Structure 1
């Protein structure tokens, strides 16, 4: 097969307009828009090589299911995982639906191709006792007291509020003191409100009392050893050392505390809609993975405890 051809001007213009619409109307993040662009360019570039001529808006009218299957086979042949291919095909289908609506041609046959099936990976939460042990250990894991207090404060915040590590480290001086309900801007610019537990506020207050750097409105709330913003890699490294000391699995990462927050809420009787709002998930289907986690843990307990298991 010949090498993929460059996008025609008309197709490049159409792609730019679609991406602009995704960014404006659907409030997609810059990272998501960049991924969509790469996905559709890969598809259109494949079509150019496959048919030996650059894809145009008019040529898409003749798109067949065989073209979609050939693209999927080529991507799998390049080593793309089933999960990544499913995401790529989803972006391509969205673009094609937009093109068909805009130009009035029927692409139902091509769009009817199903994406590959893949095993959705389940989150790896900590047990409640493990989470408590970790937070207790964090308070004295480092020889420098203020650094130990800082790490304990961040981890308590991630677990207590279900924050992503980037969201916790994005807090700055003007956010302190934390209100009873904190407004977080997450993925895609979506805002959500999360309650702040007193234990998280107390942990941050302890850290700030020991921190040698002055808190200013525009600087990071959580500081690195030299006074700059705390980097995620530093916290992840500290977490790696702590889990080694405690004998926790490699899946015990800072992000696992967010998973633990959701799983423990569900186990305690929290409803999925509320947990979805607290986590900032755009779709309930994303949150529903925690029901699978809860079932898995329930079966593990059953097998260990049942006398006839």
Structure 2
């Protein structure tokens, strides 16, 4: 592909205006249903957890309510462990991995933490299998004051309402082949830039915070996931998606500066997971299990430090 590839919407070298955004929106189709695939799983957790609605997306408030799931017996004496998924709605195992963590493992940690899980921050993106919201804005670059993305605003309000500090934040993501075939070309077109082809790493990796990398915490996450699936190797330049590999399966980004969900709190222990669902070596369920393993590995490490 390289710079010769032209996204079908827009004029090369020119940023999108309202007309291009509208053309992009009009070719989007619904591919699956949040109310059928995600909400019933959330409601099934009400027997063991407190399920709270923290907002709804204005595109369709009935269709896209936003849910947070909290461990019972919330205590001022316990730190908060926050797990977020579906910031990019198309990253399926982020959503279903977060829910599977609640279904299978979270109860093992409620004596140590107040657990807060926000499984699907971008349900419109989930339904349309999209990285952006309907306004062609990436919620995962929009966690900052006066954000243009309501998905991000709703989560920031929820975090601001918490009475205690968030000690741990694990944000569940995927890196998919469509990042390279669809979403990055669209981003280049939207910004009026040339698309430069990249490489999708085969395997799991994490993104730490440049300002607070916590390498031992990252290692615990990687070691836990390694029991479930393979870790992404560095490329010939010693990088993963253009960033230097700082330890096996780990790169760092400046979370707050980039407006990433991983920077939404001032947590001491934070990581963003990246599962690769398009690998021929994994199943969808193994991807969900890798997300669960990542959370478990992170929580166990922090317990060892308490």
TM range (shorter): under 0.3
Q: Which has the higher strand share?
A: 2
Q: TM-score, normalised by structure 2?
A: 0.23
- The structure whose RCO (Cα within 8 Å, separation 6+) is larger is 2
- TM-score of the aligned structures, taking structure 1 as reference length: 0.23
The structure with the largest alpha-carbon Rg is: 1
